[in-house]
Each structure stands twice: as C-alpha cells, then as structure tokens.
Amino acid sequence: MPSLSVRRLLAMLVLCTAPQLALPASAAPRVPAPFEQLVPATLGGDGLALVEVRRRCEDCDPWRVLEFRANDTATPAWREKVSVRAGVTAMYAYPGTDYFANVKVEQSMPGRYEQDKALVIQHIEHDFRLLDARVASYLGTNEAARDKLMALLAPGTRTMEYMRETVRGVDYASYTVKVLGLSGGALSQVHFFVPGRDVIVTAYLLQQKNAKFKTIDEFLRMRAGFIRAWIDLLAPLAPVGAGAGDHAGDQQHQGGGLQAARPAALP
C-alpha cells in the first residue's frame, strides 16, 4: 500500500475547495448573463441560498484542464482539455454556516459539448475508481482503521458510492464519500449536463466545520434535495428526447461496470 494516508488521497483528488467561513444572511448576488436561468437564488426550499457569484475571467484560455492521476503520485499520468466559452462560480450556504456547495456553471465552445461531456464523465469515473481502490486497499491492510470506519457505516454499505442517472432528461454523474471526516474537502462531486445550453454544471458539496448537517445521513438527505432542485431547474431546458439513451432511468453504483479507458485529447 502507498504511504499516503486516505485523507491525503481524498484531498489530492478534490478538484476544488472553498474557505470555511460562517456566512451572514444577505440579498442574493446578481448573476451575470447568460447564466441567469442557470444559477438560482435558492435551492430546495430548505434555506440553501446563493451567497456569492464570480464570473470566469474573460481573458482566460478557452478551456480548463482535467488531470488523470495514477498510483499515489502528485504528477498526473495525463491531462485533457475541456473547452470553456464562458462560466461562473456560484457559492451556496445555509444561514449561519460555512459554504455547502461550490458550483461551476460552464458553457462549452461551439461544437465541443458532447466531447466535453464525455471527458468530464471519464474523469469523475477515473477519480472514483482510483480513490475507491486505494481506500479498499488501505482498509484491507489496516484492521484498526477498518474497524473504526465500518462502525460509522450502515451494514452492507461502502465508504464510496458512484452514481450515473438520467432524470426528466437531465443526465448527471456523481460520487459520494459516505463517512464524515474522511475527506478534508468535498464529500460529494456532482456533474449535471444541459445539452440545450451546451452547459456543464459541476458541484462540490463540501465537508464543513460549521455545518447544518451533523451526521452522514443528514448530509445524504441534503444532497438528494440539492440534486432534485437542480433537476427541477434544468429539466425545462433539456431538449425533447434528451436522456433517452443508454443511461435513461438507470443507476450505476459503487464502481460497477466502470471501464478504465483513456479518452481522446482535444486538439
């Protein structure tokens, strides 16, 4: 087993974290065009609200880089570019708590959306597969750590879960860490795909010191509500017939069926 701890492995794979600050209630910030319909002021009706919006710099390169890692090294095995025509970062929080969600809403360059979507899905599956195998290997050789973690999990569940599903024409892919405190950054990563707008929404649901949730079950219920709220928002924007492919109505869990294939690079 590599020398890196499970906590460091999780932190290495988290692509984006946010400062942990208790946030005062205030009016929702203004969302810049063309993202007004894609960044709601509230989500889920349980107090989760938009507290900050940052526009992606206009002179940035028209892409972002996905790093595909191998083993326990800090150096990526390879990188891929996902196109970005324009984008915003939206931060969500419950009143009086730290940031709950860091959400990136990004529009692909013309003609790039399907390739960008394939790369993003490949990347989250790669990260999940790598991290799940490392956690399993670590627990298989560390009895004390395994017993401690298993005591925190419901019988028959694992420390990590992957899901891909299409609901009401909205395709999304996600993985979730099922133990509080195991990750220093994101407990769950969710990607929503909006073909009608050539937009990919990437949400990081954050581990927090000052959180509304106190248990993993409470977090999972809040995560489910977060996903439902985004589907309610995005479903009217999905073209007729969207999501009718191989994944419509299907769920894939805990790494079953994930294939380790390197995607084609953007030119």
Digit-by-digit pLDDT tens for the chain (267 residues) are 444 445 554 444 443 333 444 444 456 799 998 899 999 999 988 999 999 999 999 899 999 999 998 766 667 789 999 999 999 999 999 999 999 999 999 999 999 999 999 999 999 999 898 888 877 777 778 777 777 777 776 666 777 899 999 999 899 999 998 887 765 678 999 999 999 899 999 999 998 888 899 988 899 999 999 999 999 999 998 776 555 443 444 445 444 334 333 433 333
- Measured in whole angstroms, the distance separating CA 257 from the mean position of its chain's CA atoms is 20
pTM: 0.79
Joined together, the tokens standing for residue 48 give 């989760």
